[in-house]
C-alpha cells in the first residue's frame, strides 16, 4: 500500500469525523438559538463542515490518482 493511499484513507476518515462533529455542533443550544433568531450557524460550526468537505475531496483525489 502506497504512502498516498494511506494518507488518503486517513484524510477520508478525518474529514468524515469533522463533518459528524459539525452535525453535532449544529445541535448545540447556542447554534439552535442563533438559527432560530435568523443569524445562521456559528463560524466554528461552518469550519467543521468546510474542513471536513475539503479533507474528503482531497482524500478522494489521492485515492483516485494513486491507482494504476
pLDDT tens, 12-66? Answer: 999 999 999 998 888 888 877 877 787 877 788 889 999 999 999 999 998 888 6
CA 40, 43, 47, 50 dihedral sign is positive
Locate cell 474529514: which residue?
Answer: 15
What is d(CA 33, CA 41) in angstroms, rounded to the nearest whole number?
10
Number of domains in the chain: 1
pLDDT of 49 reads: 93
Question: What range defines the domain where residue 55 resides?
Answer: 3-65
pLDDT of 20 reads: 95
Task: Give the pTM.
Answer: 0.81
Q: 3-state SS of the chain? A: CCHHHHHHHHHHHHHHHHHHHHHHHHCCHHHHHHHHCCCCCCHHHHHHHHHHHHHHHHHHHHHHHCCC
Amino acid at each position: 500500500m502506497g504512502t498516498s493511499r494511506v494518507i488518503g484513507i486517513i484524510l477520508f476518515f478525518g474529514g468524515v469525523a469533522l463533518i459528524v462533529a459539525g452535525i453535532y455542533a449544529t445541535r448545540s443550544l447556542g447554534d439552535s438559538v442563533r438559527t432560530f433568531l435568523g443569524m445562521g450557524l456559528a463560524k466554528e460550526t461552518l469550519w467543521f463542515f468546510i474542513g471536513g468537505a475539503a479533507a474528503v475531496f482531497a482524500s478522494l483525489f489521492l485515492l483516485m490518482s494513486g491507482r494504476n
